[in-house]
Amino acid sequence: MSGRPIRSGAEYIESLRGRNLKVYLMGEPVSEPVDHPIIRPSINAVAETYDLANSNPELASAMSPLTGERINRFLHIATSPADLVMQNKMQRRLGQLTGTCFQRCVGMDALNALHSVTFDLDRNNGTGYHDRFKDFLVRVQHSNLVIGGAMTDVKGDRSKSPSQQADPDLFVRVTRRTPEGIFISGAKAHQTGCLNSHWLIVMPTMRLEAADKDYAIAGAVPVDAGGIAYICGWQSCDTRSAEGGEIDAGNARFAGQEAMIVFEDVFVPNEHIFMDGEVEFASTLVERFTCYHRRSYVCKTGVGDVLIGAAATIADYNGVERASHVRDKLVEMTHLNETIYGAGIAASHQGMEMKSGAFLPDEMLANVCKHHVTRLPYEIGRLAQDLAGGLMVTLPSERELRHETIGPMIEKYLKGRADIPTEDRIRILRLVENMTLGRNAVGYLTESMHGAGSPQAQRIQIARAMQIEFKKELAKTLAGINSASRQEIADDLSTYMARVFAPVQRN
């Protein structure tokens, strides 16, 4: 973590080489992930986060109050609603540039959540976690590293708590403690961009009870630490990246990445431990992280912009761009996409200051944003498939297109508009396929459903925060109904006014 900081996407890619990670893909060990054709597109997507910070520093970087240096915005602690808004704007732009998951939002949101939680934990318990966390963050900011967040445990029997599981390793836990630090074992599932990170932030995944003390662990672990194995996820159309050519991949340059991380007695030194046994703060960390992360799903609107553009392009290539129903479908796709963005950006605008000085997005609107994301991208994807037509899933491969005998037939019979090359028509159809059925559909659709919590998780949080008694009193007042409980909801009114009508704070 010392020495010259990483400055560009190219330098970032080189920083991942030679780490001797224990990686498995399709049942085989991967000696160098950087050069693996299935993994490399996901690395390229992360590299864009570095290059955007260079080409547009106002958008993708910020001045660190800890170091006084300009740093990548993914490593910055938001200290105003304006900071939160800029995170969202950066996320949308990166979605536009990559058409996929660029894998750094989880780490950014983990850092922001830990800033306030470690501060509150220290104030309550007299511990020293916050200073440890800041020291770690300063080193990471200086070196300009990628942080991955690891929250989701494999969970086993969902009806049982971590300590009640038949196998204690179904949630990541402390297996032993020494004067120098702790050892952890267990597994984290669905881990976005973990191979492409430099450090992992391990966090608890749920509310914990006193018997779950060994599972209340948060800390930083190097990706190349001893005892870690990575089992890559297997996603639709993955092998197209390794089969030669580029057309059939749809988006040959960029992709997302998910893997399972298996920890077997992995050592975490004291200076990298930010919570150890404080079960009463586990739910606080989970709730603050999910608040950040659920409004971070505005990243899907950048990907949505690409898909809307692809749908409009294929309509153009098919010669139907002027049809009223085509225009109406594009308007609907845009309306749905902007609905997601509006909720996320509003959550950021209404961010509130925590005691540590970090700003937390509005919890209600963050959950509304993510709840939209569990639904609306599916309709955007359906409309894109509607406009693309059935040829999207019956196209012959690039090998046929390049074939000496068959190629001319494809050129002739898969022609759309006379002035548009057949290959261009095939390319845009493959992109729509990639984003709605193929490899990047995982990041746009399935992750939209389950990432940062499945739909019911948002509905629970919305129910907790909807202040229904306060709203009933509003109605009773206007209807002229006397209510003995009006005074009892004074605190609700105060909370609501502070949340909704507080003046916007800016840097």
Nearest to 16 by CA among 38, 32, 37: 32
Spatial neighbors of 441 by CB under 8 A, at least 6 apart, are: 236, 381, 434, 435
Dihedral of alpha carbons 221, 289, 504, 354, sign: negative
What span, in angstroms and rounded, lies between the C-alpha atoms of 169 and 162? 9
H or E stretch at 135: helix 129-143
C-alpha of 456 from chain center: 18
Question: Active site residue: 48, 433, 447, 473, which one?
Answer: 447
Beta-sheet pairing, 181-192 with 258-269: antiparallel
Active site (annotated) includes residue 230: no
Question: Active site residue: 272, 293, 371, 372, which one?
Answer: 293
Q: Cα separations (Å) of 451 from 50, 166, 437, 489?
A: 24, 27, 18, 34
Question: Active site residue: 192, 290, 313, 436, which one?
Answer: 192
Active site (annotated) includes residue 299: yes
Dihedral of alpha carbons 353, 355, 360, 364, sign: negative
Active site (annotated) includes residue 291: no
Question: Active site residue: 36, 50, 101, 398, which one?
Answer: 101
Active site (annotated) includes residue 339: no
Question: Active site residue: 297, 317, 341, 444, which one?
Answer: 297
Active site (annotated) includes residue 100: no
Question: Active site residue: 36, 49, 105, 130, which one?
Answer: 105
Question: Active site residue: 194, 237, 291, 299, which one?
Answer: 299
Active site (annotated) includes residue 11: no
Active site (annotated) includes residue 297: yes
What span, in angstroms and rounded, lies between the C-alpha atoms of 59 and 75? 13
Count of other CB atoms within 10 angstroms of residue 234: 12
Active site (annotated) includes residue 335: no
Give me the count of residues in the chain.
507
Nearest to 21 by CA among 269, 274, 257, 294: 257
- Does the annotation place 192 within a ligand binding site? yes
The catalytic site residues sit at: 101, 105, 192, 258, 293, 297, 299, 447
Binding-site members for FAD are 192
